[in-house]
Structure 1
Amino acid sequence: MNEALGIALRLGLYVDLMLLFGLALFALYSLEGQERRSGTVLPLRSMLAGAAALGVLLSVASLVVMASAMSGESDIAELSPHIEMMILQTDVGFAWIVRLVALVVAGLAVLFNHRAPGFSLLVASMAGGIALASLAWSGHGAMDEGGRRVWHFTIDILHLLAAGMWLGALVAFALMANINALQSEARIRLLARTVTRFETVGALIVLFITVTGVVNYLFIVGPTLDEVFLSTYGVLLFIKVALFAAMLVLAALNRFHLGPLLQQSLRDGQYRVAANALRRSVIVELVVAVLIVGLVAWLGTLSPQMSEN
């Protein structure tokens, strides 16, 4: 029960912190001026503040479950010393403290969105990135030592940040392309503009996710493909790679077909069909992305050498 709950909490933290970082950053590089003000294009204030608050709750719950699993205690009174020890004497505890501080900073920054939207989003994205990066300390990199540990953490953090940028962008596009938002030509033109602007950023994100994913595999498993795929870890990793390939196909469809089609349909004055097609594609891509994050949360609890079927 604790194992399933731990995986669920990891999934919640991954999705929540990726959204906090990725959505705030998306609003910075894709929107302009007053478009960054919450409610003008996206409900940034409620979503980012909610993500920061939820991140705190999930972090607390995750630490409690982790301490319970490690100590075997379930009573809160008996568990308290173990929680205190984890917070004050382990790297995971230090990363947890950094995450909570970053989440508080992000939440406070969002409160100033209406007064200084650009500055508040910059602070929120930076704090969200720090909170997201802290999750690397609960991954496989924590098992390494010395220089290898530093490099593994660096790769893990880059992988997390790139994934957060992708997930945040997908959520933003899904919100901008919802049926209610596609009732005016101005909103559809805004959607088309942000899709076009995301092309270069999206290509870089895919490159970072691919390269860091391969390097991370080499850190965890090594240059082998034989025995690992006979384990639970290997099966889940194969499914993750297959889903990522499906995401690349959907991203290519958006980039080379649906995006240009939307631009052309705007020039022709017949844009609703193209906009709805893009919306459906983004929603499917978002669902696949969440499934991948779920597999990442599960994989982080497994060892290739210890998860034989």
Structure 2
Amino acid sequence: MAELSPYALPLALYLVLMLLFGRILFARPVLPRGVLLALALIALLVGVTDAVTRLSSVLGLSPADIDLDMARWFLTGTPVGEAGLLRLLALLAMLPLLAFAAPLQGLRRVALVALSGTALASLSWNGHAAAGDGFGGTLRLVAGIVHLLAAGALVGALAAILQLALRPQGLRLRERTHELWQAAHRFALPGTIIVATLAMTGTYTYVDLGGSLQTLTGTAHGRWLLLKLALVGGMLGLAALHRWRLVPALATSIRGGWQPRPLRSLRHSLACESVLALLVLACVAVLGTLDPLT
């Protein structure tokens, strides 16, 4: 358990910030009231814990021994601390906007997308994306930010479609199944763009850090990256299964005589894809602690 603890906090931070950004970006179906506010509060709590843990590690002190001067130095005098402060301020600014019971739309939604995107993008300073200077370092950082936002969009879309698939169908079975089919069908093009963006930015960052086929197989970082890529490959395989088989089968079931099997199959496949996405984020949490060249 002690060996897993350094990775649990980054995993929680990645997951909650990606869910927050992604579910605001993909606002349909509507979440139960208070869910986004709860996610923001959890993200704020995890963010504070992450900042305290990082400062404690840097100074070699227990959290109880950290005073205000140390915290001020970390939050305003180091890149990681400044990114953490920006993250916390963005999350705090979201709280009053999420407290409204009104539908998530208009300028309020735009502001929430920008704030949640800022909080998610700030995680780039926690990893290898910020390890560079000059123009090359800026390009690497931009690639890292785009990679994070694309991943958040993918996680949010998957969560939204899974919500549609798992909700009780009841008397409106055909109508709700049609909504699920529409959501899955419409995500085909955006999903392809998001996956292509993730592939390009991820490859660029790895090569820019000095990665090669040799480091991919001969280092701990490379082996974890291969595991991550295998999991991503599994997600892509399931996505292809959705697009070319399960979603068309669902459409056929809706148009013709109703059959429960296509809906059940899509539910199971989406659940498996969600588990794979969680495992990918776990790999990312580990990769952030490893040197790409060793």
Match of 2:30 in 1: 42
Note the C-alpha offset of 1:110: 2.2
1:276 aligns with 2:264: yes
Note the C-alpha offset of 1:305: 3.0
Distance 1:201 1:92 in 2: 32
Cα distance change, pair 102–45 in 1 and its aligned pair in 2 (3 A): farther
Percent sequence identity over matched residues? 35
State whether residues 6 and 62 of structure 1, in contact with CA within 8 Å, keep that contact through their aligned partners in structure 2: no
SS at match of 1:204: helix
Match of 2:17 in 1: 17
Where do 5+ consecutive residues of structure 2 fail to align?
none
1:12-39 Cα shifts (integer Å, max 9, x gaps): 0100000011111112xxx4xxxxxxxx
Alignment of 1:168-187 (within 5 A): 168-178=156-166, 180-181=168-169, 184-187=173-176
Match of 1:38 in 2: none
1:255 aligns with 2:253: no
Match of 1:207 in 2: 196
Q: Which amino acid aligns with 1:282?
A: L
Match of 1:67 in 2: 55
Distance 1:113 1:236 in 2: 43
1:58 to 43, 46, 63: 46
SS at match of 2:291: coil
2:206 to 207, 217, 221: 217
State whether residues 48 and 107 of structure 1, in contact with CA within 8 Å, keep that contact through their aligned partners in structure 2: no
1:189 to 178, 181, 196: 178
1:172-212 Cα shifts (integer Å, max 9, x gaps): 11111115246522111111111111111111111111111
Cα distance change, pair 59–256 in 1 and its aligned pair in 2 (3 A): same
Distance 1:106 1:196 in 2: 31
Match of 2:6 in 1: 6
Distance 1:126 1:182 in 2: 36
Cα distance change, pair 181–50 in 1 and its aligned pair in 2 (3 A): farther
SS at match of 2:34: helix
Alignment of 1:27-176 (within 5 A): 27=27, 31=28, 41-78=29-66, 80-114=68-102, 117-176=105-164
Cα distance change, pair 115–121 in 1 and its aligned pair in 2 (3 A): same
Note the C-alpha offset of 1:83: 2.6
1:60-92 Cα shifts (integer Å, max 9, x gaps): 101111111111111523455433211010111
2:288 to 258, 275, 300: 300
Distance 1:93 1:250 in 2: 39
1:268-298 Cα shifts (integer Å, max 9, x gaps): 1314221111111111001001100110111
Distance 2:110 2:161 in 1: 20
Q: Which amino acid aligns with 1:218?
A: V
Note the C-alpha offset of 1:44: 5.0
Note the C-alpha offset of 1:227: 3.6
1:153-180 Cα shifts (integer Å, max 9, x gaps): 1000111011111111111111111152
Q: Which amino acid aligns with 2:198?
A: I
Structure 1 residues 293-302 or 264-273, which shifts more? Answer: 264-273
SS at match of 1:180: coil
Tell me how many residue pairs correspond in the alignment.
293
State whether residues 96 and 134 of structure 1, in contact with CA within 8 Å, keep that contact through their aligned partners in structure 2: yes
Q: Which amino acid aligns with 1:16?
A: V
Distance 1:245 1:2 in 2: 30
Cα distance change, pair 231–80 in 1 and its aligned pair in 2 (3 A): farther
Distance 1:68 1:146 in 2: 30
Match of 2:26 in 1: 26
Q: Which amino acid aligns with 2:202?
A: G
Note the C-alpha offset of 1:245: 0.8
CA RMSD across the alignment: 1.9
Cα distance change, pair 129–153 in 1 and its aligned pair in 2 (3 A): same
